[in-house]
Amino acid sequence: MRRGTLLTSISLASAAGQGGNPPGPPGGRPARTAGTAPRGRGMIVASNPPPVWPAKHRIRQAFDRAATRYDAAADVQREMSDRLATHLTQADLDLDPDAIVDAGCGTGYSARWLAYRWPRARLALLDFAPAMLEVARARYPGAMVICADLEALPFTDGCFAGYWSSLAWQWNDPRRCLAEAARVLRPGGLLAVATLGADNFPELRHAFAEADDYSHVLAIPAPERLLADCRATGWAVRVWERGLVRRHYPDARSALRSVKAVGAHEVERRRPTPLSRGAWQKIDARYEQLREAAGLPLSYDGVWLIATRP
């Protein structure tokens, strides 16, 4: 790989996923450094991750629990990824990356398109939820699969020509994610991100307004700050779009189950006791005020960004 290698010194092109540990140098033991450590069955785990705050730890646990059912429920996540792919295709950038990282790959849905779009590129799949990565590893045995935090990527500077991330930055500090993307990308490298803005699930906020004083939506910074950070640090912004992604459900519990099924239900303040029957009746009644012909709406505040590194 040009201009930088993984801290493990393992080539993306030769990363194994057929079983056993990732390969090391010919004739020697598997390469290991202080930066990362090989793990069995083709997964690499960062040995020096940043501190995991309680909220992020709960999020990781939620995604691990959701891994086996994630794909059956992740239609919004697929739409976000598909729209990012469409934006990238329509941007018509003259790019032929030889190495791409899918940062926050989940079960590997986006990797299929990345492998189709750039079949010669070496692909690294990275996520902080081990159970999600096990699904991705089984699907893409030729890819390097890495368990690490997006805010502290276990790669040396300038080792990728492409950085892709779909619905992962909202669980992190977008400013730190942007800085890490800039660090691991080469000059002129591609950044393609789908994330969420600050106005998600307004219907749930309305429904729960009189039930309790707990937050039922994760607080996310306004996306305009991300755009401003990109421009302030010299990124060439090629695509910027913000728009709603909506789904409809027959009742409030179905809407909530759709969020929980993909592990995206963790919030900063957790309710210590279950809601009472009376509270649920209030929630149902308030949600019913928003009913449309297709059912009860649930809205995601989608954001799509494509840029090239200065």
The domain spanning residue 114 has which CATH number? 3.40.50.150
The answer to whether the beta carbons of residues 165 and 103 sit under 8 Å apart is yes
pLDDT value at residue 70: 66
| Interatomic CA distance for residues 304 and 84, integer angstroms | 6
Q: Is residue 11 in some structural domain?
A: no
Calculate mean pLDDT across residues 153-176.
Answer: 95
pLDDT value at residue 43: 55
Determine if the pTM surpasses 0.75: yes
Domain count, the chain: 1
Contacts with 81 (C-beta within 8 Å, 6 or more apart), sequence order: 109, 110, 113, 166, 167, 194
| Interatomic CA distance for residues 40 and 245, integer angstroms | 38
Cross-strand bridge partners of residue 292: 295
Q: Is residue 41 in some structural domain?
A: yes
Q: Is residue 1 in some structural domain?
A: no
> Which helix (H) or strand (E) element contains residue 93?
none
Output 20 or 123, whichever has higher pLDDT.
Answer: 123
Q: Is residue 96 in some structural domain?
A: yes
Predicted confidence (pLDDT) per residue in 210-266, tens digit: 776 666 566 788 899 999 999 999 999 999 999 999 999 999 999 988 887 765 555
pLDDT value at residue 174: 95
Range of the domain at 193: 37-198+219-245+302-308
The answer to whether the beta carbons of residues 131 and 263 sit under 8 Å apart is no
Q: Specify the pairing of strand 185-196 against strand 236-249.
A: unpaired
Q: Is residue 254 in some structural domain?
A: no
pLDDT value at residue 110: 96
The answer to whether the beta carbons of residues 159 and 97 sit under 8 Å apart is no
pLDDT bin (cut points 50, 70, 90) of residue 279 is confident
| Interatomic CA distance for residues 10 and 245, integer angstroms | 39
Q: Is residue 203 in some structural domain?
A: no
Which residue reads 């092109």 in tokens? 13
Q: Is residue 174 in some structural domain?
A: yes
The phi and psi torsions of 195 (rounded to 5 degrees) equal -145, -170
Calculate mean pLDDT across residues 203-207.
Answer: 92
Predicted confidence (pLDDT) per residue in 2-57, tens digit: 333 333 323 333 333 333 332 232 333 322 222 332 333 455 655 444 445 556 77
pLDDT value at residue 142: 80
pLDDT value at residue 218: 67
Calculate mean pLDDT across residues 265-273.
Answer: 54
Q: Is residue 53 in some structural domain?
A: yes
